[in-house]
Structure 1
Amino acid sequence: MIRVVIANDKPLLREGLRRILEVHEDIDVVAEVGDGQGAINISRKMPFDLLLMNLNMPGTSCLQTCSVIRREYPAISILILAFETSDQRIDQLLKLGVAGYLSKDIDPQHLIDAIRKIHRGEFILSPEVMERHREQHTKTELRINNFGLSSRELEILNYVVKGASNKDIGLALFISEKTVKNHLSNIFKKLEVSDRTQAALKAVRTKMVTLE
């Protein structure tokens, strides 16, 4: 049996969720609360498996509620329902260890499936949130792999790997040698190296630049 607590500040929505869940024999709605503090209080009074919580509620915020419950009762899984798909809010909640983040317009059967999967130890994100999270993660990875180098700095680093002099790089990119030197100084700082040779070796080793 999956014991569920519903946390939602709208009585009508709480009732709707209860009716959706309780028609399934393996799910038992053991309590309903109207705010985050209520969710914290009920977690301290009775055992349950999953908190089905609205993202935006008055009083104690969703983030504060999740933080307290995850710290005090890590065995309780938390599933967030929201219209909002803010990358920052999602990242904050995922770092706190919520088990799922779904759109409020999810159909009832998908909600039931999500609750069952979470109870089995799976992690759930709605497709639109998953896509945005994947895009953000990819952008972060690229930023890390490139050590924060700009497109111009990467271009200059390519020439450095090929053995081009500052004068050659300036002529190729239609910039002055002084500008090349300034870019190289920034490149060395970001790569945490002290000269062109070290920069070239690190660029090849980390696959920022490939040797043709």
Structure 2
Amino acid sequence: MIRVLIADDQPLVRRGLALILAPDPDVEVVGEAGDGAEAVDLAGRLRPDVVVMDIRMPVLDGVRATAELTRVCPESRVLALSTFDMDEYVVAALRAGAHGFLPKDVSPEELMAAVRTVHTGEAVVAPRLLTRLISTYVRAPDPRSRSADTTAALPDGLTPRELEIWRLLARGLDNAGIARDLDISVSTVKNHITGIFGKLGVRDRAQAVIAAYERGLVEAERRIT
């Protein structure tokens, strides 16, 4: 049984989410919160497995509520939702500790699948958001142009090969693409990525991408609109 808490400041949205999730025999909606502060309070008392968290809420917004939940109730995994699928919200939610981020226009089936994925401890980000984050929010620079200060900002303990794989991962390559680029096996890539995640202290590829531009391995740039 997956115990779910729904947090959204609009009663109609909360009810709609509950109606989508409740019919599944493996899901129990254990509570509803109207703001981030209430979500943190209810999660502390109800101990849900998954918190479906709106990003824009009064009193305490979803990002700050996620950060607080990660601190006080780490067993409750957050699936962030937002009407505004802006890169800044995706990055902020994942940095705060969310295990997933979806726009609110996803289908009921996609929402249910995401709840299940987050419950298993895996991360889920809507493909269009992650693809855009990688392709237009993050741009890999020429490694030779990195300054000494940037190099110093990188984590200790990463081998040259791990650093190379992390850079390729941040550029959006999957395991097969990294293996082709470096002429190594996919299983070797997987082993290196596991080591990279451990040394960076991240859970998944999305957080590794974010860590890459935060540490200066890749350059962050705003889109021109």
Superposition TM-score, scaled by structure 2 size: 0.62
Q: Residues of 2 paired with 1:136 and 1:93: CA distance?
A: 18
What is the match of residue 145 of structure 1?
Answer: 143
What is the match of residue 183 of structure 2?
Answer: none
1:59-97 deviation per Cα after TM superposition (whole angstroms, max 9, x unaligned):
111121011100111111000111222222221221222
1:5-45 deviation per Cα after TM superposition (whole angstroms, max 9, x unaligned):
00011111111111110110000000001000100111221
- The verdict on how the C-alpha distance between 1:191 and 1:15 changes in structure 2, with shifts beyond 3 A counting, is closer
Aligned length: 150
Asked whether the equivalents of residues 87 and 137 of structure 2 are also in contact (C-alpha less than 8 Å), the reply is: no
Q: Residues of 1 paired with 2:142 and 2:22: CA distance?
A: 47
Unaligned 5+ residue runs, structure 1?
149-189, 193-205, 207-212
What is the match of residue 19 of structure 1?
Answer: 19
1:46 aligns with 2:46: yes
Q: Residues of 2 paired with 1:67 and 1:144: CA distance?
A: 34
Instruction: Give the Å deviation of 1:138.
Output: 4.6
What is the match of residue 104 of structure 2?
Answer: 104
- The runs of at least 4 consecutive aligned structure 1 residues that moved more than 3 Å come to none
1:142-173 deviation per Cα after TM superposition (whole angstroms, max 9, x unaligned):
2372435xxxxxxxxxxxxxxxxxxxxxxxxx
What letter is aligned with 1:13?
V
Asked whether the equivalents of residues 9 and 58 of structure 1 are also in contact (C-alpha less than 8 Å), the reply is: yes
- The verdict on how the C-alpha distance between 1:85 and 1:144 changes in structure 2, with shifts beyond 3 A counting, is farther
- The verdict on how the C-alpha distance between 1:145 and 1:42 changes in structure 2, with shifts beyond 3 A counting, is same
What is the match of residue 76 of structure 1?
Answer: 76
What is the match of residue 173 of structure 2?
Answer: none
Asked whether the equivalents of residues 147 and 191 of structure 1 are also in contact (C-alpha less than 8 Å), the reply is: no
- The verdict on how the C-alpha distance between 1:12 and 1:122 changes in structure 2, with shifts beyond 3 A counting, is same
- The verdict on how the C-alpha distance between 1:73 and 1:144 changes in structure 2, with shifts beyond 3 A counting, is farther
Taking every aligned residue pair, what percent have the same amino acid on both sides? 31
1:121 aligns with 2:151: no
Unaligned 5+ residue runs, structure 2?
150-163, 165-225
Asked whether the equivalents of residues 101 and 126 of structure 1 are also in contact (C-alpha less than 8 Å), the reply is: yes
**Bigger radius of gyration among the two:** 1
Q: Residues of 1 paired with 2:72 and 2:104: CA distance?
A: 27
Identify which of structures 1 and 2 has the higher relative contact order when contacts are C-alpha pairs closer than 8 Å and 6+ apart.
2
What is the match of residue 31 of structure 2?
Answer: 31
